[in-house]
């Protein structure tokens, strides 16, 4: 089963007409029919009642339609979000730190950063221990961390500030 088969079925189910469904999604009617037929064969049950003049959904077809419409909508949202992320500027910086860094060292640095980059939102997270900050970096829950001792964890680069 592939996404084309599902999209063909959805078009037929919504139009209740093979020719209009084929025109809607831009494929030949024979191709659309073949995709729907293969989908039904793979599933092992009919989704549509067909006559030469009429198309309607089976009871199973109604259930399947509802579920695949939700899946297709979720897939569209995923594509939209990924497209926005791929084409948008970096607009969010997640920073982790321990109390001394957040209280004494970061405020002037963050103030200067915000003046230079007003469109970037800064999100601060306090971590009780350096190990927590390193774990958060490793899991990509934060983008930048201020922690005490150096680390040798793979994938994490560090620099001594003070």
Q: Write down the pLDDT at residue 128.
A: 58
Give the number of other Cβ atoms within 10 Å of residue 72's Cβ. Answer: 14
CATH tag for 3-85 (out of 1.10.10.60, 1.10.10.10, 3.40.50.300, 3.20.20.70) = 1.10.10.10
| Higher pLDDT among residues 115 and 72, named by residue | 72
User: Band of the pLDDT at 102, cuts 50, 70, 90?
Assistant: low
Report the C-alpha gap between 136 and 6 in whole angstroms.
Answer: 39
Q: φ, ψ for residue 97 (rounded to 5)?
A: -165, 170
Positions of CATH 3.40.190.10 in the chain: 92-146
Q: Write down the pLDDT at residue 14.
A: 96
**Mean pLDDT, rounded, for 129-147:** 78
- Which pTM value belongs to this model? 0.56
Any idea what DSSP says for residue 138?
H
CATH tag for 92-146 (out of 3.40.50.2300, 3.40.190.10, 3.40.50.720, 3.40.50.1820) = 3.40.190.10
């Amino acid at each position: 089963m592939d996404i084309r088969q599902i999209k063909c079925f959805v078009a037929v189910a919504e139009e209740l007409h093979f020719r209009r469904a084929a025109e809607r999604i831009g494929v030949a009617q024979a191709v659309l029919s073949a995709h729907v037929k293969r989908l039904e064969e793979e599933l092992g049950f009919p989704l549509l009642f067909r006559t030469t003049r009429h198309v309607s959904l089976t009871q199973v077809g109604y259930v399947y339609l509802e579920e695949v419409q939700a899946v297709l909508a979720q897939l569209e949202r995923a594509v939209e979000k990924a497209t926005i992320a791929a084409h948008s500027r970096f607009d969010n910086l997640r920073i982790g730190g321990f109390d001394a860094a957040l209280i004494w060292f970061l405020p002037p640095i963050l103030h200067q950063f915000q003046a230079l980059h007003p469109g970037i939102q800064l999100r601060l997270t306090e971590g009780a221990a350096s190990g927590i900050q390193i774990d958060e970096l490793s899991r990509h829950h934060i983008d930048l961390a201020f922690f005490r001792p150096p680390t040798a964890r793979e994938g994490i680069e560090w620099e001594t500030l003070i």
